[in-house]
Amino acid sequence: MIKHELQRFLWEDEGTEVVEWAVIALVLLAFTVPVILLVGGQLRSLMCNMFGALGGDVGQCSAQ
């Protein structure tokens, strides 16, 4: 019975598009997170400098 259900699951065509999109999302996430972690400090510094130049309160930026 389990063998039959496993074979049916492996050969099922319905729902494969959802799985494909999930795989694409995971791949994008796997590449995006490290990039954000690498440039996060520089991006925060850039945004804080721009915010300060506009005359905003940079209180949160000084607590880096």
User: 16-63: per-residue pLDDT in tens?
Assistant: 777 888 899 999 999 999 998 999 888 888 888 888 788 777 676 765
Structure tokens at 2: 């389990």
Range of the domain at 58: 38-64
Q: How far apart, in Å, do the first and last CA atoms of the chain sit?
A: 59
Residue 51 lies in a domain: yes
Residue 57 lies in a domain: yes
Cα–Cα distance, 38 to 50 (Å, whole number): 20
| Residue predicted with more confidence, 13 or 50 | 50
Residue 5 lies in a domain: no
User: What integer pLDDT is reported at residue 64 of this predicted model?
Assistant: 52
Residue 62 lies in a domain: yes
Residue 16 lies in a domain: no
User: How many domains are contained in the chain?
Assistant: 1
Residue 9 lies in a domain: no
